[in-house]
Structure 1
Amino acid sequence: MKYIVLALISFSLAACFSSKVATDTVSEPTLNLDKAKAKFPGYSTAMFDSGKKLYDSNCQSCHALKDPLKFTEEQWTKLVPSMSAKANKNKGANLSKEDEDLIFKYLVSVGL
């Protein structure tokens, strides 16, 4: 009986200190090319693919990828340049203004 009580107390204490696992998942983005072209004249599937590749390969070097739908265009306008600068400075990335633009347009176009 003592062992059962001791086991229950041990499990209860262990549950109090268990770590939480992140469950924020990013769904596979899709492109509505007509809406993206209306927003960004001249935008193409190749630009979307390039932006996604840049986002996937550079942004996750510092943190988990964020769901593009969780941020507004205004928020991405501020986040992309600041995160790009951090990646260039701290992670040795070499993201240009053109790369930032591709990432920004990719993130915004996912939500259109």
Structure 2
Amino acid sequence: MKRLFLLMIIAIGIAACTSQKPNTGTVTQTPINATTSVNENLAQGKVVFENNCGKCHGLPALEKYDDEKWKSIVDWMAPKAKLTSQQADLVYLYVSTSN
């Protein structure tokens, strides 16, 4: 539970410090914030992961990679998938808590 809370705090900090560019062609996501429940953020991360990552290639098993590797994968692939930093944070939150 501490790990999940720490990840949410980090995600909130990253989202607050980065510029948000509109992402046309994808579903608008609710920002990660303290009023959004962890389950809602995880559900949103799953939707972005499946809809954006899965449209170009097969989705890997979540347990295939550890948190550090998922971070590098999300950082590398998010620009290719045209994800906002908020969407990338949601995806990372989802994959890192699901592995």
TM-score past 0.5 threshold: yes
| Counterpart for residue 36 of structure 1 | 4
Task: Verify: 1:96 aligned to 2:84, yes or no.
Answer: yes
* Unaligned 5+ runs, structure 2: 10-33
- What do residues 65-95 of structure 1 show as CA deviations (whole Å, max 9, x unaligned)? 111110011101111021111122xxxxxx1
* Unaligned 5+ runs, structure 1: 1-33, 89-94
Task: Verify: 1:71 aligned to 2:65, yes or no.
Answer: yes
Taking a change above 3 Å as real, the CA distance of residues 85 and 38 of structure 1, as seen in their structure-2 partners, is closer
* 8 Å CA contact 2:7, 2:93 repeated in 1: no
Work out the CA distance in 2 between the residues paired with 1:40 and 1:47. 9
Q: Moved runs in structure 1, 4+ residues, more than 6 A?
A: none
- What do residues 37-77 of structure 1 show as CA deviations (whole Å, max 9, x unaligned)? 35535561000000000000000111101111100111011
Task: Verify: 1:60 aligned to 2:54, yes or no.
Answer: yes
- Point out the more displaced range, 34-43 or 98-107: 34-43
Amino acid of the residue matched to residue 110 of structure 1?
A: S
The higher-RCO structure (CA 8 Å, 6+ apart) is 2
Between the aligned residues of both structures, percent identity stands at 25
Amino acid of the residue matched to residue 58 of structure 1?
A: N
| Counterpart for residue 93 of structure 2 | 105
